[in-house]
Amino acid sequence: MKRPLIQALILLCLIYPLELFAKEKILWVKWTLTPEYMETGEFKGQGYLDNFLEHTIALMPEYEHESQFQTLNRINLSWAQGNVCSLHLWLGYWPDKIVYSKPYAFTPRFGIITRNDSKLAYELGDKQSVSLKYLLNKTDYKMGILPLYYKGTRNSRYPLLAPLISPHLNSNKVFEFDNGRNEMTVKIIDKKRVDYIIRQRVTHFSELRIDGRPDNYKFYYLDEGKRHKLVAGACSNSDLGKSVIRKLNALVNDEFHKKYLGFRQEWDKDNLSFEKTFNDYFIKGIANPIITE
């Protein structure tokens, strides 16, 4: 009984190329941004998205997986390969090139960082937030940001703030810094090149932790851009990409949400407000008008 079966299997392998039995390959793209993905240094591979990607890959053994660091401009071109995916992407990017999974997270609010001993910190004192419109229209303080738009696109690094910032790009109040690392640094305000920089809380405190810097800075949330922008997985708009997205959608449940939050909060431990908003929305199912596409 066994011999005919073995012969049939051998014949099948001779008739059909081995490629038909190979796993389809997903190329997961990453970008260098603390503390999401960490490409070098003491904390290499320990970003919260590094860990979450590893967890997600383990849930998808039917595919072959590879990950690669790319710039955002290169990612823009890579979607055409047909097998490219990102685990964590804001909704609304590259609508003609990609398909999204169900959202499983959202972005934190942006804020500003200034030095403790700055004139701006003295003016704001113990306030928890400040109006960006006020800073740009009513003061002469200089702001530092990454290039507002990704090269060759109208996709902004600050999508909820771009309408406020854009009119001031040619003034002496907004300075764009293109350092090739997709992230700002407190070194810019230490050197007094600008008075404040825009960034997220988790990114700021991660820089201090990684570099072993003392916290000589003040963080203020921005009054504008209070909405949280939903985040999902994304893949090339191809048959393979759509297949991977269907698999991702099947994985998005309470456990998936909790895993993501756990990895993220390792880098933002005291941000209880973000944690509560996340759990209320995704775990308890409480509607929230400031969480949006």
- 68 pLDDT more than 80: yes
Domain ranges of the chain: 23-107+229-292, 110-222
Mean pLDDT score, 202-216 = 92
DSSP helix/strand/coil, 140:
coil
Mean pLDDT along residues 267-292: 92
| DSSP track, 186-214 | THHHHTTSSSEEEEEHHHHHHHHHHHT--
pLDDT at position 16, please? 54
The pLDDT of residue 6: 57
CATH of domain 110-222: 3.40.190.10
pTM > 0.85: yes or no: no
Average pLDDT of the residues in 50-72? 95
Predicted pLDDT at 18? 46
Across the chain, mean pLDDT equals 89
Instruction: Over range 47-55, report the average pLDDT.
Output: 97
The mean pLDDT of 169-198, rounded to a whole number, is 87
What are the start-end ranges of the H helices in the chain?
2-15, 48-58, 72-78, 119-124, 132-138, 162-165, 187-190, 201-211, 239-251, 254-265, 272-278
Tell me the pLDDT tens digit for each residue of 93-118: 888 899 999 999 999 989 999 999 99
Superfamily of segment(s) 23-107+229-292: Periplasmic binding protein-like II (3.40.190.10)
Band of pLDDT at residue 11, cut at 50, 70 and 90: low
